[in-house]
Amino acid sequence: MRKLIVSAFVSLDGVVQAPGGPGEDESGGFSRGGWTVPYFDESVGQFMDELMGHPFDLVLGRRTYDIFAAFWPHASEEEGAAPLNDAVKHVASRGRPELTWERSRLLEGDVAEAVAALKQQDGRELQVHGSGELLQTLWSAGLVDELRLLTFPVVLGAGKRLFAGGAAPTAYELASSRTSATGVVMAVYRAAGQPQTGTFGQPAE
């Protein structure tokens, strides 16, 4: 069985839209693309290298796929292209686009069911990057096994959120964390069943 792992850049107010650069995703009038760039330092880069330093396949929404496909096939190994180009890319789309990036496959039928079927297979872990709309489907279906979250010390005020509503209630346990000199908190959370509740001042059951 394969694990589904979400890696996300997120602001303090939960925004995940267009972290990489201006023009990446201006839908909804978003004008602050590239908000992560001033905070990237060696330790953030090292964390990303660790996340992508072993074989994996990708599950991507169409917009993120197009952004990746425009860059990574032409990038160098020094830029970190090899793991992404070697991965099988499973793409969620409402249409039937031509997928020109090598090893790309369209997810057929219901996306949640298709991803659930991928998880039942043997093989590499499945990583999700970006893909904000796809994430909402994965959250609501309870398909995410691990969350690798980089929280940047900035409030953006508007933009697409990591959790836009409708996520299946899930508890997570903190597996590891560290903080960069620029204030980026890098944490790995693993799904740990249903959320538990209690009352202050009373013994736990």
Please compute the mean of the pLDDT values over residues 52-62 and round it to a whole number. 93
pLDDT per position as a tens digit, 162-201: 998 889 999 999 999 999 999 999 999 999 999 999 999 8
- Reduced to 3 states (helix: H, G, I; strand: E, B; else coil), residue 91 is strand
Please compute the mean of the pLDDT values over residues 44-65 and round it to a whole number. 93
pLDDT at 205 exceeding the cut of 60: no
What are the structural domains, with CATH classification, of the chain? Answer: 4-191 (3.40.430.10)
Contacts of 40 (CB under 8 A, 6+ apart): 182
pLDDT per position as a tens digit, 94-107: 888 889 999 999 99
Q: How far is Cα 65 from Cα 39, in angstroms, rounded to an integer?
A: 24
Nearest partner of 130 among 4, 9, 2, judged by Cα? 9
Instruction: Quickly tell me which residue has 């709309």 as its tokens.
Output: 133
pLDDT of amino acid 203: 67
- Quote the mean pLDDT of the chain: 94
- DSSP letter string, 123-185: SSEEEEES-HHHHHHHHHTT---EEEEEEES---SSS-BS--S-PPP--EEEEEEEE-TTS-E
Task: Identify whether the C-beta of residue 150 lies closer than 8 Å to the C-beta of residue 156.
Answer: no
Handedness of CA 33, 136, 65, 94 (dihedral sign): negative
Q: How far is Cα 106 from Cα 90, in angstroms, rounded to an integer?
A: 6
Please compute the mean of the pLDDT values over residues 65-78 and round it to a whole number. 92
- Reduced to 3 states (helix: H, G, I; strand: E, B; else coil), residue 119 is helix
Q: What is the amino acid identity at position 1?
A: M
pLDDT per position as a tens digit, 127-151: 999 998 999 999 999 999 999 999 9
